[in-house]
Amino acid sequence: MQAALAALEQNYLTLNSQVTMLSIACTPDQKTALVTQLVAARAAYWACVNKAFHDDDPQVVALTNQLNAVNQQLTDAVGQMGDFTATLGQITNAAAIAGSLAALVIAA
């Protein structure tokens, strides 16, 4: 699988697997924000499954690296169950990067 798609998949899977646990500890507004980011991550992944990226595009490479880094931070943050507001900020950042990356996909 292309690195970019793998990063988008990991982003969505991480959020999807953690959203239930995170939902328990958040306010209704925070939950709405959380679900919004989950939907964005899922949309970014599925928008790219049957398409392709230019692997040699520096922008694709940079965003993929950023998303991989944020995915790892997100996994760590959720595992530690620390400051929810900060975690939500990381989730929002990850979804934004995923959206930017998905925007670079090309029709195969």
Q: What are the residues binding another protein (CB under 8 A)? A: 1-2, 5-6, 9, 13, 16-17, 19-20, 35, 38-39, 42-43, 45-47, 49-50, 52-53, 55, 108
Q: Which residue number, 13 or 96, has a Cβ lying nearer to another protein?
A: 13
| Rounded CA separation 41/87 (Å) | 15
Token duo for residue 49 = 């499954």
Closest separation between CB of residue 32 and another protein, Å? 9
Cβ–Cβ under 8 Å, residues 34 and 91: yes
Please state the length of the chain.
Answer: 108
- 88: tokens are 């939500």
The minimum distance between CB 46 and another protein, in angstroms, equals 4
